[in-house]
Amino acid sequence: MNKILDPKTLIGPDRVLDVRDIPCSIKHGLILQTFQDMAVGQHFILVNGHDPVPLYYQFSAEWPETFTWEHLLKQPEEVRVKITKTKVLQAPVGTAPKATAAK
C-alpha cells in the first residue's frame, strides 16, 4: 500500500496517534512533526508497541521544558503516552539560527 502519512489525517477527534503499524523509518519523523504542528496547550495520545524512551530523550534534548509526557498505559504490547505542548517551540537546541539576507 502506497499512501502518504499526514499527521493531520492520522489524528481524529480523540487525539490518538496509533503508530504501531507504521514502519519505523517513518514513525519517528511523523511523531516529531505531529508535535511541532500542534498549538500550545494541545496534546495527542501516542499509541506504540513499546515504551518510546529514546523519543522522550530526543524531545528533552531538542525542546526542553516545552512538553509534558504522561504514561496512560504501559503493557508489553501497547503503550499509551499523552504528549502535551506547554510552550512555543524554539529552534532545536544546538542548531544555528538562520541567516538573514542583508538589505
Lookup result for grid cell 492520522: 10
Per-residue pLDDT for 103 more than 50?
no
Residues whose CB falls within 8 Å of the CB of residue 92, separated by 6 or more in sequence, listed in order? 61, 62, 63
- Continuous H helices in 1-103: 7-10, 24-37, 53-62
Is the residue at 55 inside a domain?
Answer: yes
Total domains, the chain:
1
Range of the domain at 13: 7-85
Is the residue at 100 inside a domain?
Answer: no
Is the residue at 58 inside a domain?
Answer: yes
Q: Check which CATH number belongs to the domain holding 33 and give it.
A: 3.30.110.40
DSSP state of 39: P
- For residue range 10-34, list pLDDT tens digits in order: 777 889 999 999 998 889 899 999 9
Enter the pTM of the model: 0.79
- 74 membership: H or E segment, kind and range: strand 67-74
What average pLDDT does range 39-64 have in this prediction?
95
Is the residue at 56 inside a domain?
Answer: yes
Instruction: Give burial (CB, 10 Å; 0-12/13-18/19+) of 99.
Output: exposed
